[in-house]
Amino acid sequence: MAQKQIYTLYNGMEVKLPVGLSQDEADNLIAKALPGVALGAGTFYDLEKEFDISSSVDNAGLRFDLALAKDNPKEAKAVLDARLGKDGWGLSDFGEFYANPIGLRRLGMEPKDNRKVLIDGISNNVYDLVDLVPEIATGVGALAAELLVPVPGTGAAGAAAVGGFLSSFTAR
């Protein structure tokens, strides 16, 4: 069983939370579980206290491997465990993978602060293109497979049409 730490709130109420949380993580957990009590203390849930949602984890290998593992949770977990370590990543309440400072350091990145960084943050950068490469490759492969499948009864005319279509993509 995970160890718990007791926090005493402003009104004397005591809550047990996991050991090792930052103050911002503890505040956010309390605000989610007891919003009325948190509001009475003048605090509220603040996503950006806990997560750096703007930045991204700028590592092409990690982003490419996760894009390949899309829709396969077991494979995504294996990628994250291998690249960030079992204690270097997590899944947010809102369904996004993040790297914590431990995971960032394993990638050779020094964290800006102690917050968790979303693997694919909301700001756009060149690493967003890496996320698309597997999908583009799959689409091109599917198109090529469709073009190369012979259509019964087309014979030489069909082959010429496919050849003409493909040659339209060559450099001019």
CB count within 10 Å of CB 15 equals 16
pTM: 0.62
Does position 154 have pLDDT exceeding 80, yes or no?
A: no
Query: pLDDT, tens digit, for every residue of 118-138?
Result: 998 875 554 444 444 445 445
Q: Report pLDDT digits (tens) over 4-58.
A: 888 888 888 898 998 888 888 888 888 888 888 888 888 888 888 999 988 888 8
C-alpha 6/C-alpha 16 separation (Å) is 4
Is pLDDT at 161 greater than 50 in this prediction? yes
